[in-house]
Amino acid sequence: MPLLSIEFALCFLIFLPIYWSLHRSPRWQNRALLAASLLYLCTVHWAVALAVVWFALAIWQIAFKIQSSEHAKSRKMWLSGGIVLALANLGLFKYFDFFRPAFQAAFGDNVADWVMPLGISYYTFQAIAYLLAIYRRENVGMIRGDLLLHFSFFPTITSGPIIRAGSLKSIYGTQMGFTEQVQTTQPRQMVRPALALALIALGLAKKWWLSGMLAENWVNPVFENPLQYDALSAWAAVLGYTFQLFLDFSGYTDLVLGMAMLLGFRLPENFNMPLRAVNIRDFWERWHITLSTWIRDYIYIPLGGSRQGFVRTQVNVMLAMLLSGIWHGYGWNFLLWGALHGVAFVVVNSCERTLGKHYFQNRFGTWAAVGLTFLFVSVSFIIFRTHNLGETGQMFTALLGGGQQAHMAWSALGMIALMVAVVAAYPKMNALFQAAVLRLERLPYWTWSFILAAIMMILMAVAPSGIPGFIYANF
C-alpha cells in the first residue's frame, strides 16, 4: 500500500482520531503507532514485518550487552558484532542479485528469490547510529517496543529520512532525535498543523503533478529513445531528470514530514535548495541531508576526516563517496556515480587549497558556480536513469548532437529556460510558501478543509493519470 494512494489516505484519516484519543498517554500512542507501522509492513508482505521485528530485537539485545558490559574490550566486541550483523543483513538482502551467480554455482539453478525488506537501508543506518550512540554512552537508550517503532515508523520506513535516536547536526542546526520524542511523558500536540497540511499538499503537488508531468512529457520519452531527439531535447531531458528526482524525493519528504507533524513528531529536514549549490560539497550539505550527514559522522570522520593532512583527506572523501554510491545499489553505475562525486569533491578541495575558499566572490562567479554544479549533478545522474553502458553511450551521443537533427526543438529550449528560472526564483517561491502558511494559520480551522479540498481537486485535474511510484525506493 503506497503512501501516495487512496487506501493509505483513508487508513491515515481513520488512524488519526484513534491516535489522538490516547493523547493523555504517550505510551499508548507509541503502541498504537507501532501496531499501525507493523500492519503497514504486513500489507507489503508478512515476511517484511517479521524481518524488521527480528532485526530490532537483535539490535536491542546487542545494545543491552554494550550498556551492561563493564570492560571496554567487551563493549567494543559487542559493538563490532552489532555493526557486522547490521551490514551482513543489509548485504544479504540488498545485494542478493549480485551474489546470485555464486549461490547458483554452489546450490544449483533453483535458488529462490528473496523478498527484500522494505526500507532496509534506512533502518540499517539507524541501527548502526543507535549502537554507536549507546557505545558512546549517549542518553538514547530505548525499550524494545520503542526501538522497534524507531526502525518501523511508517512515515519513514519506505525511504527515510534517516532518523537518529540522538540529535542531528546539519545545515539546519541541531535537530531533535527520536528517543527524546518517543519517550516523552508529556501529552503530545500536533506540530503547527497548518504547516503540516501545507507540506502534505506541497508534497503531493511536487510528486504527483510536477514530477509525474516531467517524467511523462520529457524524461521518459527521451531516455527510452535518445537517438530520436536533437541535442537540445536531450539536454532538456537530462536536466529534467534532475528536477524529477528532486521533486519526487523532496515531495515525498514534505509528505512524511507533514504526516509526522500531525502525529506530534518532528523529523529532520532532508533538503535545503540543493539545486542552488555552488559546488559539490555544498550540494551534499543540501541534498538528502540525513544520508550525507550519516556518511560524514560514521564513515568520513572515523576514517580520519580532515585531521591527517590534505592527501589523506581526499582519500577519505573518495572512500566515503564510493560507499555512498554502493549504498544506492550494487550495479556498476552506482559505483561510478559515487566515484564521479568523489573526484568532484577532490577537485573542489584542490581549487580551494590553491585559489582560496572565496575565489568567486562576485555575483557572476557565484551563478557560474551554481550552473556548473547543477550541470555536473545532472550529467552524473544519467547513470542512475540508464541500465547499461550501451544506453549511457546513446544518451551522451544525443547530448553531443548525434541524434536526430531535423529541427530545433523550441519547446525544449523553453523547458530549459523554465528550469533555470525556477532555480533562480526558488528562494522567493519558498518565501511565498511560508507566507501562505502564515496566512492559513490566521484563518479559522473550519476553512482549512475547503482550501485543501480545492487544492486536491486542482491536482486531480492537472496531474498525470495513475499513482506514481517513488523513484528513490529503487536505490
Q: Which helix (H) or strand (E) holds 168?
A: strand 168-170
Task: Assess whether 416 and 467 both reside in one domain.
Answer: yes
Task: Assess whether 199 and 172 both reside in one domain.
Answer: no
pLDDT of residue 298: 92
Task: Assess whether 383 and 451 both reside in one domain.
Answer: yes
The dihedral sign for the CA sequence 283, 293, 315, 473: negative
Task: Assess whether 120 and 14 both reside in one domain.
Answer: yes
- Region of 329 (left: φ > 0; alpha: ψ -120 to 50; beta: rest) is left
* Residues facing residue 173 across a β-bridge: 170
pLDDT of residue 391: 86
Task: Assess whether 129 and 242 both reside in one domain.
Answer: no
Residue 92 lies in a domain: yes
Task: Assess whether 48 and 15 both reside in one domain.
Answer: yes
Task: Assess whether 257 and 178 both reside in one domain.
Answer: no
Which domain does 109 fall in, by range? 6-183
pLDDT of residue 111: 47
Which residues, in sequence order, are CB contacts of 269 under 8 Å at separation 6+? 161, 170, 172, 175, 253, 257, 289
State how far the alpha carbon of 138 is from the alpha carbons of 111, 177, 265, 292, in Å.
43, 12, 21, 22
Q: Which three cell numbers stand for residue 242?
A: 534532475
- Domain-terminating residue out of 145, 163, 183: 183
pLDDT of residue 98: 59
Exposure string of 406-435, with b = 16+ CB inside 10 Å and e = fewer, is eeebeebeebbeebeeebeeeeeeeeeeee
Task: Assess whether 71 and 133 both reside in one domain.
Answer: yes
- Domain-terminating residue out of 116, 148, 183: 183
Task: Assess whether 147 and 70 both reside in one domain.
Answer: yes
Task: Assess whether 74 and 220 both reside in one domain.
Answer: no
pLDDT of residue 407: 56
User: What is the pTM assigned to this prediction?
Assistant: 0.89
Closest-CA residue to 250 (of 215, 202, 285): 202
Domain count for the chain: 2
Residue 240 lies in a domain: yes
Residue-wise pLDDT tens digits, 176-195? 899 999 999 999 999 999 99
Q: 238 burial class (0-12, 13-18, 19+ CB within 10 angstroms)?
A: buried
For 109, phi and psi rounded to 5 degrees? -75, -15
Residue 338 lies in a domain: no
The DSSP string of 393-417 is HHHHHHHTT-S--SS--HHHHHHHH
Q: What parts of the chain have a pLDDT lower than 70?
A: 1, 95-117, 330, 357-362, 405-408, 466-475
Residue 452 lies in a domain: yes
Task: Assess whether 367 and 400 both reside in one domain.
Answer: yes
**Angstrom distance (rounded) from CA 319 to CA 299:** 8
Task: Assess whether 270 and 398 both reside in one domain.
Answer: yes
Determine the Cα angle at 195 with ends 192 and 200, to 5°: 125
SS3 76: helix
pLDDT of residue 109: 55
